[in-house]
Amino acid sequence: MTGLRVLAVDDVPPALEELSRMLRDCPEVGEVTAVGDPLSAVRNIQAGEFDAAFLDIAMPGLDGLELAALLGKLSHPPVIVFVTAYDRHAVSAFGVGAVDYVLKPIRAERLAAALTKVNRMVHALRVEHDDGRTSTPDTMPALAVDAAGRTRYVRRDEVRFVEAHGDYVRLHTPDGVHEVRMPISRLEDYWEDCGFVRVHRGFLVALNAVRELRSDSVGGVLAHTDSGDVPVSRRHARELRDRLLQAAQRGELGR
């Protein structure tokens, strides 16, 4: 299974159900294990590795801060994010190494921002544990697309360009257009090192998908791909030309 392996811990069942649902809706997350008490969390982590743990703070017995301190002693601890209704513990939360602190009620965009931090930390830790390997693990090589009760996976190398559409992005591929709930700025963070370039406020394009640059009817620039033309803003046109030239010199275009 691809994606982050996440443990969600909250002693309030409705809160745990909501957190788990929101995490499962995020494309970065591959698996969510939900538990209702800290001791169950410890047992689950002892039984298998997790990339991240989203912890409530106010829990009976062992609270979230104590649980995080305990997890920090593991040889490969999960990345910690606290999810709580109270902001008074923020200093203590970061003091035990949490990467973020999300207040209830949870907003989707706030959870997404926390997951971005988690992903970056997970990747950094994997490189550190790889003893001398300098390449970072691949980030989101495919996105799950739900349509008509079915889920398919669109590979990054199928995507010619990405179009912003409200809270969604549209992935333009030779076999059609697919919508995924994700801000385009977040997808740019993940794919910018994989050959995708911002060419307009609402568009990313895969460099190796660009066949030529064209002028439109009003003197603007279009990047032509086999899945359609992509508008290029004036502020991004020079950078795109430079990036295309560099890719061509390296023999990377048209792959």
86 and 162 part of one domain: no
Q: What is the pLDDT of residue 65?
A: 83
Q: What is the pLDDT of residue 98?
A: 83
Range of the domain at 228: 156-249
Residue 98 to residues 39, 78, 92, 167, Cα–Cα distance (Å): 19, 10, 9, 28
62 and 111 part of one domain: yes
**Full-prediction pTM beyond 0.75?**
no
Domain boundary among 81, 114, 129: 129
208 and 169 part of one domain: yes
Mark the ranges of the chain whose per-residue pLDDT is less than 70.
Answer: 1-2, 89-96, 127-140, 251-255
Q: Is residue 16 part of a domain?
A: yes
Rounded Cα gap, residues 59 and 26, in angstroms: 25
Q: What is the pLDDT of residue 137?
A: 44
Q: What is the pLDDT of residue 162?
A: 97
Per residue in 166-181, pLDDT (tens digit) is: 888 999 999 999 998 8
Total number of domains constituting the chain: 2
Rounded Cα gap, residues 60 and 79, in angstroms: 22
Rounded Cα gap, residues 116 and 122, in angstroms: 10
124 and 162 part of one domain: no
Question: Tokens at residue 242, please?
Answer: 């430079």
Rounded Cα gap, residues 45 and 68, in angstroms: 12
Residue 193 belongs to a domain with what CATH number?
Answer: 2.40.50.1020
